[in-house]
Amino acid sequence: MMVGYGAGNQPAANYHGSSVNDARRMQVLVDGRSVYRAGLATVDWGDIPLALEDIERIEVFRGPNTVSYGANALMAVVNILTRSPADSHGTRLKGQHYRDGRRLTRLSLSASHALNAEQSLDWQFSAKEGSEQRPYAYTPVFPGVSGAGANADVNAKDYAASVRWNIDLDPRHSLYLQGSALHWDRQQVWRACDAAIAFSPQLAQLWRLNPGYTERLARNIDA
C-alpha cells in the first residue's frame, strides 16, 4: 500500500503497484458507503466530505476475499469508520482559514436513536461546497483578441446521506439494514475567445498544408 501525491497537492493511494491516478481495483468505503467515482475511475481523497476528527479507525482488507465487497474490490478495500454519535456529547463547531489554492466548507451531522431495548437507528448527513484553483491556459491565436475570462476554477458540491437500522436478536447475534445515497457535482466553466477568421474554412485548408506557416501568419496578422 502506497500513500502519496499523484500530481501537485492531489493526494492518492494505491495498492500492489496499481496506477496512482486510477484506483480501478481498490474499493474505498466510509461506514460501508462507497466513495469511489466510477465515471473517473478514481477516488478523490481531498473531496471526501469527512473531517479527520470524526474518524474512529481505518480498516484495510487485502487479498482475493475482498471481492465480497462488490464491484471494484478486486485487490483491496479501505473502510473508513467514523465515531459513533453516542461517544460525542454536545455540539462541535470548527473552522479554519488557510490558503492553498482551495476553498472548502464542510458540514457533517450524525445521530443515533434508540427505538427500544433491541433496536436502534443511526443516520448521517454530510455536505461539502468549495472550489479548487485551476490555471487558465488558453491563449488566443490572433493578437488583440479580448473578452476571454481568466477563471477556470472547479466548483464542487457534494452530498452524502446514510441510514442504518440495528437489531439485536440475542446477546450473540445481531443484524442491520443500511441504505445510503451520494451525489457529486463538479463544474468547470471557462471562456475561450478568438478572432472570427480563426474559424475560416480557407484558414483550415492552409493549416493542413503548412501548419507552421499558418501559425506564424496568425501571430503576425492584425485581427
**Could you write out the DSSP letters of every residue in 174-193?**
EEEEEEEEEEEEEEE-----
10 or 3: whose pLDDT is higher? 3
Question: Is residue 88 helix, strand or coil?
Answer: coil
Which residues does 202 contact at the CB level (< 8 Å), separation at least 6? Answer: none
* Domain around 63: 1-82
Q: For residues 16 and 74, state if they share a domain.
A: yes
Question: Is residue 107 helix, strand or coil?
Answer: strand
* Percent with pLDDT over 70 in the chain: 83
Is residue 170, in this structure, part of any structural domain at all?
yes
pLDDT at 223: 47
Q: For residues 15 and 51, state if they share a domain.
A: yes
What are the residues facing 7 on neighbouring strands? 10
pLDDT at 100: 62
How does pLDDT run across 12-55, given as a tens digit for each residue?
Answer: 777 776 665 666 778 888 888 888 877 777 777 777 777 777 88
pLDDT at 92: 67
The verdict on pTM exceeding 0.85 is no
Question: In whole numbers, what is the pLDDT of the chain averaged over residues?
Answer: 78
Q: For residues 40 and 125, state if they share a domain.
A: no
pLDDT at 192: 73
pLDDT at 168: 92
- Amino acid in the structure at residue 1: M
**The CATH number of the domain where 9 resides is what?**
2.170.130.10
Q: For residues 66 and 154, state if they share a domain.
A: no
Is residue 216, in this structure, part of any structural domain at all?
no
Residue 69 confidence class, pLDDT cut points 50, 70, 90: confident
- What phi and psi, each to the nearest 5 degrees, are found at residue 154? -100, 125
Q: For residues 166 and 184, state if they share a domain.
A: yes
Q: For residues 68 and 121, state if they share a domain.
A: no
Q: For residues 2 and 89, state if they share a domain.
A: no
Is residue 205, in this structure, part of any structural domain at all?
no
Q: For residues 30 and 66, state if they share a domain.
A: yes
Q: For residues 76 and 114, state if they share a domain.
A: no
Q: For residues 184 and 110, state if they share a domain.
A: yes
How does pLDDT run across 127-175, given as a tens digit for each residue?
Answer: 888 887 777 777 777 766 665 667 778 888 888 888 989 999 998 999 9
Q: For residues 108 and 188, state if they share a domain.
A: yes
Q: For residues 91 and 157, state if they share a domain.
A: yes
